[in-house]
Amino acid sequence: MKRLILIIMLGLVALPTAAVELIEFDSPEQEQRFRELATELRCLVCQNQSLADSDAGLAKDLRDEVLRLMREGLSDEEIKTYLAARYGDFVLYRPPVKPATWALWFGPFVLLLIAVAALLYTIRRRSTAEELVADPDQKELDRRIEEEQP
């Protein structure tokens, strides 16, 4: 008996504490869609949480709004557009690709290209330097030739 009580109490401790309140969903598919959408949208008050995680009052309002729009038959894209038109792209965890976000989307690849170019340049320079080391006079000669060329 004691063991049973202990098991029940431990089970209570492990109750999920996610911020999603009790919502009556029309179908499991709708619930699944809602949960996926809520993790794609950012809570604006607590900026590092998604709508699904946040306990803030505004996040609850926005979750209700998302559900309402879903029931009206809007697609995921339409719901995101609806919220972005009001709260800006910030509400989307995946910002759209447009000139203002190019640096965000392509910046890392540009930096990678620069790094690879710098790496190749250094490797090539080192290997030529090593070849020349065998003949110090030749190296000096090369350096002078290079200096004379503009």
Which residues are near other proteins by CB under 8 A?
Answer: 44-45, 47, 57-58, 61-62, 65, 84-90, 118, 121
What is residue 41's three-state secondary structure? strand
Q: Give the other-Cβ count within 10 Å of 7's Cβ.
A: 10
Helical segments of the chain, H only: 2-13, 28-40, 57-71, 76-87, 102-133, 136-148
Return the number of the residue (15 or 145) whose C-beta is nearest other proteins: 145
Q: Cβ 65 to other proteins, closest distance in Å?
A: 6
Q: Give the other-Cβ count within 10 Å of 59's Cβ.
A: 24
What is residue 50's three-state secondary structure? strand
Q: Cβ 122 to other proteins, closest distance in Å?
A: 10
Return the number of the residue (6 or 114) whose C-beta is nearest other proteins: 114
Q: Cβ 58 to other proteins, closest distance in Å?
A: 6
Q: Cβ 1 to other proteins, closest distance in Å?
A: 48
Contact 79, 37 (CB under 8 A): yes
Q: Give the other-Cβ count within 10 Å of 101's Cβ.
A: 13
What is residue 42's three-state secondary structure? strand
